[in-house]
């Protein structure tokens, strides 16, 4: 009876691995074509001329900060170096328990001032507003702790520009990142959100808020994440953008049209995945209200960020990401296979629902039954070969393709040794690392069922400095 059930289920899991890897392959192939066209087009577009001819849209950088004393000053210094005509930096101190506020006050000579709110999204109480007397475009909002979503909503309430950029306090933007990420808003008035690419700062050397030397992390946990980010942004998001079915803009670096976000109600405070939930809701609101819109991703605006370098911190991060994914999709289940929502309802939402949200559950069960099949001696040789091909060989090929995409695009890693290390990681990550990540995501499904809302402590370290 058990043998028959396992023999019946094994082909089902093979089909699952075949479908999910086929989706990865399709988005990767689409990404190759799109990046090649994008790079060719960039050679004919002068970003500075485009800004001067069209008129730069003023933008506010909203930087939520909670216990960011290790990196906040360096990050804000990097924002002062940005190449953009008109922008404000709005740091929202979300009730930090460390010396984040004190460090900001000392570094930028902050003084209490008044500032008028421009919208009324409900947030925790604002205790004080500060303005820098060194740099008149730096503002700090000190408020009671309410979480990242609440801090972002507070920033939106005090935002005075048509666009805002949501980012993390431990992120460093490249100097031309704003000019590049704003370009889709200038070229298409229907654009309401644009995502940039996130890269790993671990191992890099920072001086005066600028990434001076780009190197691969020595820490293997961080190095694996470099490869993961290549897959997530270059292979996946670039491919989904070609299909006009973007369902997530990273909370570490995304630009939004403020009026549309306010109309949608701002960020949800009922999820730890506020970045994805907002994008899903923007799709839904714009479709239901028949608002012309475009949500896109472009691969050249870069934000550098610190990633977890310990197993415990990485486990908490992936648990939070998976819970955030579930909390983003479940409230909007009416979009699933609903043709009213176009490609989002028919393509993107079903993929994320069945393969990203429920995928870890299916994968863990598939691995378990494979081991049981081997133990009971009922696994045929064709089945074993198919299983290893779909779970390992396919995974290695997709990871190698992600590294190739990096070389085809903006090539931020200049050393040949880094390329060799990336190809080595693309091979070995499939023998343990990816399975552990899947297990953490699997556990997070049950955390979500228990309605766990904890953010999870994230270990913060100062950037490597000259």
Q: What is the CATH number of the domain that holds 265?
A: 3.90.550.10
Pairing mode, strands 210-213 and 191-200: unpaired
First to last CA, the chain: 66
Domain assignment of residue 431, yes or no: no
User: From CA 148, how far away is CA 97, in angstroms rounded?
Assistant: 15
Question: CA-based Rg of the chain, rounded to a whole angstrom?
Answer: 22
Dihedral sign, CA of 316, 246, 358, 199? negative
Pairing mode, strands 253-257 and 191-200: antiparallel
Domain assignment of residue 366, yes or no: no
User: From CA 452, how far away is CA 417, in angstroms rounded?
Assistant: 42
Residue 298 burial (CB count, 10 A): 19
Domain assignment of residue 408, yes or no: no
Residue spans of beta strands (DSSP E) within 116-270: 126-132, 138-143, 163-167, 171-173, 191-200, 205-207, 210-213, 253-257
| Rounded average pLDDT over 444-454 | 87
What residues make up the domain containing 315?
A: 23-349
Q: Are 291 and 282 in contact (CB under 8 A)?
A: no
Domain assignment of residue 381, yes or no: no
In order of 136, 208, 231, 257, 303, the CA distances from 79 in angstroms are: 13, 10, 27, 20, 11
Of the two residues 303 and 465, the one the predictor is more confident about is 303
Domain assignment of residue 388, yes or no: no
Domain assignment of residue 55, yes or no: yes
Q: How many domains does the chain have?
A: 1
The whole-number pLDDT of residue 413 equals 74
The pTM for the full model equals 0.92
The yes-or-no verdict on residue 77 having pLDDT over 50 is yes
The whole-number pLDDT of residue 419 equals 83
- Please name the residues in contact with 293: beta carbons below 8 A apart, sequence gap of 6 or more: 190, 191, 192, 260, 282, 286
| Rounded average pLDDT over 253-271 | 96
The yes-or-no verdict on residue 172 having pLDDT over 70 is yes
Beta-carbon-side half-sphere exposure of residue 235 (alpha carbons within 13 Å) = 22
Domain assignment of residue 392, yes or no: no
User: From CA 420, how far away is CA 284, in angstroms rounded?
Assistant: 43
- Please name the residues in contact with 434: beta carbons below 8 A apart, sequence gap of 6 or more: 395
92-148 pLDDT per residue, tens:
999 999 999 999 999 999 999 999 999 999 999 999 999 999 999 999 999 999 999
The yes-or-no verdict on residue 460 having pLDDT over 80 is no
Q: What is the mean pLDDT of the chain?
A: 90
Domain assignment of residue 100, yes or no: yes
């Amino acid at each position: 009876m058990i043998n028959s059930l396992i023999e019946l289920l094994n082909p089902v899991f093979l089909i699952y691995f075949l479908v999910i890897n086929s989706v990865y392959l399709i988005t990767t192939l689409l990404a190759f074509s799109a990046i090649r066209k994008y790079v060719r087009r960039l050679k004919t577009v002068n970003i500075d001329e485009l800004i001067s001819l069209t008129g730069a849209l003023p933008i506010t950088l909203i930087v939520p900060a909670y216990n960011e004393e290790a990196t906040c000053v360096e990050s804000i210094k990097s924002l002062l170096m940005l190449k953009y005509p008109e922008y404000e930096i709005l740091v929202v101190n979300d009730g930090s328990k460390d010396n984040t506020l004190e460090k900001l006050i000392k570094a930028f000579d902050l003084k209490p001032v008044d500032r008028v709110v421009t919208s009324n999204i409900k947030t925790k109480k604002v205790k004080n507003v500060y303005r820098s007397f060194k740099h008149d475009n730096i503002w700090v909002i000190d408020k009671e702790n309410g979480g990242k979503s609440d801090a972002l909503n507070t920033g939106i309430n005090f935002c005075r520009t048509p666009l805002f950029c949501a980012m993390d306090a431990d992120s460093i933007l490249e100097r031309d990142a704003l000019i590049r990420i704003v370009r889709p808003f200038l070229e298409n008035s229907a654009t309401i959100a644009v995502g940039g690419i996130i890269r790993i700062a671990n191992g890099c050397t920072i001086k005066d808020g600028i990434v001076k030397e780009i190197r691969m992390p020595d820490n293997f946990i961080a190095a694996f994440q470099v490869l993961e980010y290549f897959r997530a942004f270059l292979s996946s998001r670039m491919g989904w953008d070609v299909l006009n079915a973007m369902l997530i803009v990273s909370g570490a670096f995304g630009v939004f049209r403020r009026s549309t976000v306010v109309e949608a109600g701002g960020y949800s405070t009922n999820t730890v995945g506020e970045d994805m939930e907002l994008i899903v809701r923007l799709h839904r609101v714009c479709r239901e209200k028949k608002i012309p819109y475009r949500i896109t991703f472009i691969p050249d605006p870069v934000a550098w960020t610190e990633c977890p370098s310990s197993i415990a911190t990485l486990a908490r991060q992936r648990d939070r990401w998976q819970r955030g994914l579930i909390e983003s999709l479940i409230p909007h289940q009416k979009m699933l296979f609903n043709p009213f929502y176009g490609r989002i309802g028919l393509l993107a939402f079903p993929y994320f629902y069945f393969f990203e949200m429920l995928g870890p559950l299916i994968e863990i069960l598939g691995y378990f039954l494979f081991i049981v099949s081997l133990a009971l001696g009922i696994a045929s040789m064709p089945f074993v070969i198919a299983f290893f091909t779909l779970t390992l060989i396919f995974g290695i090929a997709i990871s190698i393709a992600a590294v190739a995409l990096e070389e085809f695009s903006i090539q931020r890693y200049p050393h040949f040794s880094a390329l060799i290390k990336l190809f080595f990681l693309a091979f070995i990550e499939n023998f343990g690392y990816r399975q552990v990540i899947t297990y953490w995501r699997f556990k997070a499904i049950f955390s979500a069922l228990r309605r766990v809302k904890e953010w999870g402590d994230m270990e913060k370290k100062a950037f490597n400095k000259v």
